[in-house]
Structure 1
C-alpha cells in the first residue's frame, strides 16, 4: 500500500499561526501597567546621576507612582484580570471594602500573567530599596522608597483580597449596593 504523505500530527499550512500569534487584547493597558512602575524604578535608580536635583527626582517618582496606582486600580485591573476593588465609607464613618470579579473564563491568560507579575515583583523591589536605605542610612530617600512600597503594596493587597473574596460578578455587587442604599434612604424618611 502506498504511504500517504499526509501526517495527522503536523498542522496544515496556516493552522498553527493562530496559536502562536495569540494577541494580547489590551496592549496599551498592558504596556501602561508596566510603564509607570518601571519608570518610577528607573528614575529612582538614576537619581545618583542627578545629585543636585533631589526635589525634582522625588516629585517625578511620586507622580509616576501615583499614575501607576490610579492606572492599576481603575484601568488595568478591570481590563486585564477582570477585578476591581475600592473602599466605601458610610455616613457614620464605617469603612467597607468592596470587591468585584468577572467570571474566570473571560480573562486572557497572557494579560493575567503580565498583570500579576507586575503586581508582585515591583513591591518586592521597593521593599529591597527600603531595607537598603535603612541599612545605608540614606534617610532623605527613605520617604520616597516607603511611598513606592506603600502604593505598590496597597494595590497588591487589594487585588489579592479581590481575587480571593470577589467571586460574584459586577452586576450582582452593583445591585446589592443600590438595594442597600435605597433601604437606608427609606429608613431615613420614616
Structure 2
C-alpha cells in the first residue's frame, strides 16, 4: 500500500488543528454542487428503500433504482466529492506483475485552497451516518424475514462501507494500521477519564 502526500505531514483524524489554520478557513461552502451530490444519491437510496412499497409494487424496479443510486453515490464520493470537499482521494492500481496496490492520497489543509470546516463536517457526517443506517437495515431485514431485500441492503453496506474505509485510510495514513489508531485514540480517552477522576478525588 502506498500513500501520496502533497506535503510530507499526515492529516490526523482525531487531533485538533492549529488555531492559525482554523482561523484561515472560511465556514462557507465552497463547492455547493459537490456538497449537494455528496448527500443526494445516498439519501435518495435510503428514501427509496424506505418508501419503495408505497412508490411501486415491483420489487425489481425498486431494487434496480436503489442499486443505481448506490453506484452513482459510490462513484461520486470516491472520484469527486472527497477530492473537492476534504482533499482526499483513494484508488486501486494493478501493476505489470498483476499485483493490486491501494493508493491513498491526502492534501494538507494549509495549501492555497484549504477545505472549509462546514464542507468537511458535511462530508464526514454523510460518510459515517449512511453506512450505519444500511447496517441497521441489514439487521432489520434479517430479523423481519425480508430476505429478498438482503441483497440490496448488503450492496448498500459494501459500497458505502468501502468509501468510508478508503477515506479513513486516507485521513489516518496508510502506514498506520487502523487498529493502532483506534487503540491509541481509546487509550488517550481512557487516560483523560482517569486523570479527571483523579483530580476529583
TM-score normalized by the length of structure 1:
0.74
Q: RMSD between aligned alpha carbons?
A: 1.5
Structure 1 stretches of at least 4 aligned residues deviating more than 6 Å after TM superposition: none
CA–CA separation in structure 1 for the residues paired with 2:157 and 2:174 = 24
Larger Rg: 1
**Could you say which residue in structure 1 is the equivalent of 2:6?**
none
Q: 2:69 aligns with which of 40, 53, 64?
A: 64
Quote the Cα distance in structure 2 between the aligned partners of 1:50 and 1:109.
Answer: 37
Of 148, 152, 156 in structure 1, the residue corresponding to residue 160 of structure 2 is 152
Gaps of 5+ in 2: 1-25, 176-201
8 Å Cα contact 2:28-2:116 kept in structure 1: no
1:35-76 superposed Cα distances (whole Å, 9 cap, x missing partner) = 000000000000121462111100000000000000000000
Change (3 A) 1:81 1:67: same
- What number of residue pairs does the alignment pair up? 147
Contact kept in structure 1, 2:56 and 2:62, CA below 8 Å? no
SS of 2:143 mapped into structure 1? helix
State the alpha-carbon separation in 1 of the partners of residues 35 and 174 from structure 2: 22
Find the partner of 1:125 among 129, 133, 155.
133
Structure 1 residue 48 corresponds to structure 2 residue 48: no
Structure 1 residue 90, shift from structure 2 partner: 1.3
What secondary structure sits across from 1:99 in the alignment?
strand
Residue in structure 2 matched with residue 104 of structure 1 by the alignment? 109
Structure 1, unaligned stretches of length 5 or more?
A: 1-20, 168-190
Distance in structure 2 (CA, Å) of the matches to 1:50 and 1:140: 17
Indicate the larger mover: 26-35 or 46-55.
46-55
Residue of structure 2 equivalent to 1:75: 80
Name the residue aligned to 1:33.
Answer: 38
Q: Whose helix proportion is higher, 1 or 2?
A: 1
Tell me if the contact between 1:100 and 1:166 (Cα under 8 Å) persists in the aligned partners: no
Distance in 2, matches of 1:129 and 1:26, equals 31
- DSSP-derived class of the 1:104 partner: coil
